[in-house]
Structure 1
Amino acid sequence: MLSAKASVENGSPLADAVAAYNRDDFDEAFALFETLANRGDAEAKTWLGVMYAHGQGVASSLQMAFALYLSGAEAGNVLAQTNVGAMLAMGQGVARDEVEAIKWLTRAAEQGDQYAQYNLATLLSKGQGADADPRAAADWYRRAAETGHYPSQARLGFLYANGTGVEKDRVEAYVWLSLAAQHGVGTALNALEGLVGQMSSDEKRAGAAAVSKWRSRTADVSVHARLTPMPG
C-alpha cells in the first residue's frame, strides 16, 4: 500500500480524526471523518474514501471510495486526485477511462505527488490515455525518484540501462537501480547484478559516489492511505 501523511492543525476536529485513524480506532475515525465530510470538508471526504477502499470501520466499497475521492479531488485535494486517477486507470469502483485518468494524475503530479507522477509516467510509457511519450514518462519517473519513490527509482534505472526516453547511461542506471534495490525492489536488484558486469571501474566509482549523495536526499515512503499503484 502507499501513503500520504496528513498535514492538519493540532487540536482540530480533523486532527482528532486522523489521530484515531493512526491508532487503528477505525470506528471512531470513521464517525469523526463522516461528520466533517457532511459539512463539506474535502480532506475528510478523502479520508473516508480511504476507509471505504480498505474496509476500515465500514464495509469495503470501491464505488463509495471513488465517489468520495472524486468529491475531494474536485475540491482540490491532491491525494484524492491521485486516487481518482488511479481508479479510473484501473477501472476500480468506476468504468475504466484512461483519458480521464491522465487528466487527474497530471493535476496531482504537477503539485508534486510522487504516486501520481509514477502512475502518470506508467500510462505515458505504455501509450494508455495518451500517445506514448517515453521522454515525458522518464521525466515524471525522475521527479518521483528524486523525492524517494522507490518504484520510480527502479523504473528510471531501467530506462537509463536501456536508453528508453533518455540517453543510455550505465552510471545513472546504477544509481537509481541501487537506491531501489536497497529498499527491497527485487527487480531492481536483478537488473543491477546484470548491469555491474558491464561497467568499468571508473563507472562503478562514479556510481557509488552518486548513490551516497542521493541516499541522503531521498525521502521515506510511509504506509497508509493510498491505493496500490498501477503495475509498472
Structure 2
Amino acid sequence: MKVITLNVGGIKQAVEKGFLDWLQEQDADVVCVQDVRTKAYKLGDAIERPEGWEGYFFDAEQDDFAGTGIYCRSMPKAIMTGLGFELADREGRYIQADFDKVSVCSFQMPSGINPAEKKLFMEQFLEYLTKLRRKRREYIICGSWNIAHKTLDLANWQDNQLSIGFRPEERAWMDQVFGPLGYIDAFREVNRDADQYTFWPNAERDRERQEGWRLDYQVTGPNLRRAIKKAWIDPSVKFSAHAPLYVEYDL
C-alpha cells in the first residue's frame, strides 16, 4: 500500500499549478490532502472525483480555511469525519477512510499562531490518540502535525528553539506520542537522512537554501512497524509551501 500526504495550501490554487495532472501520475492507493480551503460542494467533479479516484472531504465551517480530504483508488468501507471535539471539528481537521486492514486518516494540526488554542487541541487530540490505541484496527494518520520533533527535522534549529512548531512543550508532546503511547513516525523508521523537510516558510528562497522544517508525518501504531518499507519526500512538487511525503507499506 502506497500512501501520500500533502498540504495543498488551497486545493483550487494547487489545481491551477497542476495538482490533478500530478495526481494522475501517482502510483498510489491513497492520497491525503490538508488545508483544502474551500467547501466540497464548490469543487466540482473534476476535483472531487478525478478519473481513477474517489475524493472525500471534511469542510471547515469558515470559508477559505483549513479542511481535509482523502483521495482513494478503491472505495473504502466507511468514511468518518471529526475527532469529537469542537476545536477540531468546526475546522474540518480530520477525515478517516476505513479499509479491510487499516484506516488511513488525513489530519491537520493548528499551526500555533494562537498558542493557547494549539495547546488545548494537543491535549484533546492526545486523549483521542490514547483511545485509538485500544481499538482493534491499525491506523495511518497522515498530515500536517505542525511540529518539528527532533533537531534533525529543522534547519537552523539553534535559532528556532522558541519558534512556533519547535517550542519545548510541543516537542515534549511529540515525545509522548512516539514514546509512552507507542506510535511510530513512519518516515523516520526507515529514513534517517538529514535535510529532509516538508515545509519551507519562504517557499522559493528557503527551498534553495535547504532551510526547511519537517512538519508533515505519517504516524502509525506499533503493529505496523515492520510493514513500513520505504519513505521519501519530493521537494520538486511545488503546489504549496509543503512537499508531499510518500510511504510504502507491506500490508
TM-score (structure 1 length as normaliser): 0.33
More helix by share: 1
More strand by share: 2
Structure of greater Rg: 1
Higher relative contact order (CA 8 A, sep 6+): 2
